[in-house]
């Protein structure tokens, strides 16, 4: 008998990744595909379509479906032994929504192994383009929800966050009005995460309570849909949402489609899928107070586990913790993450990371007092829906440009000053930082994080903590099923690899950043006022 495996899949903004671990948490297989490069027929840029209004952002739902067969097919070609997989779980970009057409449950149930998922599900969606987390087009719906529920703090106290444009409830409210027929013809709404579970079980899978917290629809304390929010959002919505399930729940067995087509064992279980940030929290095993994570991907996020939710109406989110049924996580999200760093790299360093790093090395920490704000996309934190750039000299005077090397340092320093400011505002205080995501491989960026926060920064051997976390959660959920009770996640993590010290703080530089932080906060207020 070959040893068991646990498979995690991360359906993110730009890619679909698979990570398989054995029962001792060793990574035995990894593979990823890139939506833009590997599925060019969907004509996306970095996995998405931007609307002409500059605010609407969607992805074709069928792209995600086609990606699943493509990845599983490549895994088969690479000799991955599907028959050893005891359980699968998934991670999905948070907040994105999928609209299953009336009758789609029958299509899912009857999936035939000889045909592709794409051809069989081509007519399964009532709305072809899924709104995703990058969308900022629902300010009117957010305002309406806050008015109906008694203001931003009331919405935050109930759901964990004030109304945010990208949160799924507000997206659904817009769809219900602008695509009325499609909405009425919808039998079930999935998140990207629960959608991944549907593709494996061939049935509608429940939304887990960690990702469900990113919808402005769930009561953050009882972890059930909040009727007042659901009713305020769209007519008939309660019937389209299904159940909220614990993140470690077994949501069904693998569908015969995957048994026949890829060689999965028919006894393989599917564990509830969750959001990419919750899965990263699981992949990093965050639990100690003062241990925080910074994820540097398409979005940048800073998050930490916490025991008592203190939702803020001004910034950040409280989600349910995916590995501790009684716990919570706090998170601050930025839309101007990797793509904005890449944009500055392209403009100031001829598109070369080597030149980018050389610029970081040749400029003084603190950038001689220069501070910059860069919004290639409308920003979430702080909420500024117009794109643009603002630069200030050491005397807080606005300037039009910085020398190229200073521009590079300014984009990096600004991002982490902002994380320290806004994370701190919602109680994310670092004693130690775990960095993850693609850009966590960049030492110059990690050094800025260590210096801004004044603490050590660690990285894992692999930067894909979301798909790894999904694989860990598959093992966790499977153990809970096997033992018929909740098993602590810490027990699962006993054999997890330790982190590597990647950057230690330079305390002199930290002092420089302490005084810059006050200026940064004041300048941000100015930038926000000017952008209105």
Residues forming contacts to ligand 5FX in the complex (CB under 6 A) are 12-13, 93-95, 133, 166, 214, 275-277, 299, 301, 333
For residue 169 the two structure tokens come to: 């409830």
Strand partners, 371: 392
**Of residues 274 and 390, the one with the C-beta less far from ligand 5FX:** 274
Residue of 433, 378, 434, 361 lying closest to 53 (CA atoms): 378
**Of residues 22 and 165, the one with the C-beta less far from ligand 5FX:** 165
Q: DSSP string of 196-261?
A: HHHHHHTS--PEEHHHHTTSS-EETTTTEE-HHHHHHH-TTTHHHH--EE-TT-EEEEPPHHHHHH
Shortest Å, Cβ 12 to ligand 5FX: 6
**Of residues 193 and 363, the one with the C-beta less far from ligand 5FX:** 193
**Of residues 212 and 275, the one with the C-beta less far from ligand 5FX:** 275
CA 196/CA 90 separation, integer angstroms = 6
Shortest Å, Cβ 3 to ligand 5FX: 32
CA 397/CA 401 separation, integer angstroms = 12
**Of residues 131 and 275, the one with the C-beta less far from ligand 5FX:** 275
Q: 292 and 280 in contact (C-beta within 8 Å)? A: no
Shortest Å, Cβ 337 to ligand 5FX: 8
Shortest Å, Cβ 301 to ligand 5FX: 5
**Of residues 275 and 463, the one with the C-beta less far from ligand 5FX:** 275
Q: 69 and 116 in contact (C-beta within 8 Å)? A: yes
For residue 324 the two structure tokens come to: 């501790």
Shortest Å, Cβ 345 to ligand 5FX: 21
* 144 exposure class (CB count in 10 Å sphere: 0-12, 13-18, 19+): middle
Residues in the chain: 532
**Of residues 136 and 367, the one with the C-beta less far from ligand 5FX:** 136
**Of residues 95 and 248, the one with the C-beta less far from ligand 5FX:** 95
**Of residues 377 and 405, the one with the C-beta less far from ligand 5FX:** 377
**Of residues 366 and 437, the one with the C-beta less far from ligand 5FX:** 437
Helices (H) and strands (E) in the chain, counts: 21, 26
Strand partners, 306: 328
Residue of 16, 314, 367 lying closest to 151 (CA atoms): 314
**Of residues 301 and 367, the one with the C-beta less far from ligand 5FX:** 301
Whether omega before 473 lies within 30 degrees of 0, making that bond cis, reads no
Shortest Å, Cβ 273 to ligand 5FX: 13
Shortest Å, Cβ 66 to ligand 5FX: 19
Shortest Å, Cβ 164 to ligand 5FX: 8
Which DSSP helix (H) or strand (E) runs through 414? helix 404-425
For strands 328-334 and 300-306, give the pairing.
Answer: antiparallel
**Of residues 94 and 210, the one with the C-beta less far from ligand 5FX:** 94
Shortest Å, Cβ 87 to ligand 5FX: 23
For residue 418 the two structure tokens come to: 């902002």
User: Within a 10 A sphere around the Cβ of 90, how many other Cβ atoms?
Assistant: 34
Shortest Å, Cβ 483 to ligand 5FX: 31
Shortest Å, Cβ 192 to ligand 5FX: 8
Shortest Å, Cβ 525 to ligand 5FX: 24
469-478: b (≥16 Cβ within 10 Å) or e:
bbbbbbbbbb
Q: 264 and 202 in contact (C-beta within 8 Å)? A: no
SS3 (DSSP) at 128: coil
The 388-392 sheet, strands edge to edge: 371-375, 388-392, 398-399
């Amino acid at each position: 008998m070959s040893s068991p495996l646990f498979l995690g899949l991360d359906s993110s903004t730009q890619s679909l990744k698979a990570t398989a671990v054995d029962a001792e948490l060793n990574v035995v297989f990894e593979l990823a595909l890139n939506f833009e490069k590997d599925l060019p027929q969907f004509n996306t840029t970095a996995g998405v379509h931007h609307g002409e209004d500059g605010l609407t952002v969607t992805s074709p739902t069928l792209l995600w479906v086609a990606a699943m067969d493509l990845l599983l097919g490549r895994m088969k070609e690479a000799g991955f032994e599907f028959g050893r997989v005891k359980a699968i779980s998934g991670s999905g970009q948070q907040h994105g929504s999928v609209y299953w057409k009336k009758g789609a449950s029958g299509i899912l149930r009857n999936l035939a192994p000889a045909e592709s998922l794409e051809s069989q599900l081509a007519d399964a969606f009532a709305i072809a383009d899924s709104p995703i987390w990058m969308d900022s087009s629902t300010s009117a719906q957010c305002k309406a929800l806050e008015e109906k529920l008694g203001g931003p703090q009331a919405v935050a106290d109930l759901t964990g966050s004030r109304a945010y444009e990208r949160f799924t409830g507000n997206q659904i409210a817009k769809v219900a009005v602008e695509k009325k027929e499609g909405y009425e013809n919808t039998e079930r709404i999935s998140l990207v995460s629960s959608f991944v579970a549907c593709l494996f079980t061939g049935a509608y899978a429940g939304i887990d309570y960690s990702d469900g917290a990113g919808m402005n629809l769930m009561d953050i304390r009882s972890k059930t849909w909040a009727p007042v929010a659901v009713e305020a959002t769209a007519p008939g919505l309660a019937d389209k949402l299904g159940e909220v399930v614990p993140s470690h729940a077994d949501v069904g067995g693998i569908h015969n489609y995957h048994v026949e087509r890829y060689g999965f064992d028919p006894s393989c279980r599917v564990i509830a899928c969750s959001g990419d940030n919750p899965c990263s929290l699981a992949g990093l095993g965050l639990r100690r107070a003062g241990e925080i994570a910074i994820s540097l991907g398409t979005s940048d996020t800073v998050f930490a586990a916490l025991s008592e939710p203190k939702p803020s109406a001004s910034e950040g989110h409280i989600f349910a913790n995916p590995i501790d049924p009684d716990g919570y996580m706090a998170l601050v999200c930025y839309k101007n993450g990797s793509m904005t760093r890449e944009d500055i790299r392209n403009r100031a360093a001829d598109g070369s990371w080597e030149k980018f790093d050389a610029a970081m090395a040749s400029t003084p920490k603190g950038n001689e007092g220069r501070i910059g704000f860069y919004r290639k996309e409308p920003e979430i934190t702080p909420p500024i829906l117009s794109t643009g750039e603002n630069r200030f000299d050491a005397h807080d005077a606005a300037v039009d440009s910085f020398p190229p090397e200073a521009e590079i340092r300014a984009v990096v320093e600004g991002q982490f000053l902002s994380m320290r400011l806004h994370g701190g505002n919602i109680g994310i205080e670092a004693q130690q930082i775990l960095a993850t995501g693609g850009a966590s491989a960049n030492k110059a960026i990690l050094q800025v994080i260590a210096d801004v926060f004044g603490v050590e920064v660690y990285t894992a051997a692999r930067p894909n903590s979301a798909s790894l976390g999904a694989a860990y959660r598959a093992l966790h959920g499977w153990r809970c099923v096997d033992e018929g009770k909740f098993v602590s996640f810490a027990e699962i993590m006993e054999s997890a690899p330790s982190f590597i010290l990647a950057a230690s703080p330079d305390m002199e530089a930290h002092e420089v950043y302490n005084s810059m932080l006050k200026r940064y906060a004041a300048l941000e207020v100015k930038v926000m006022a000017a952008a209105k």
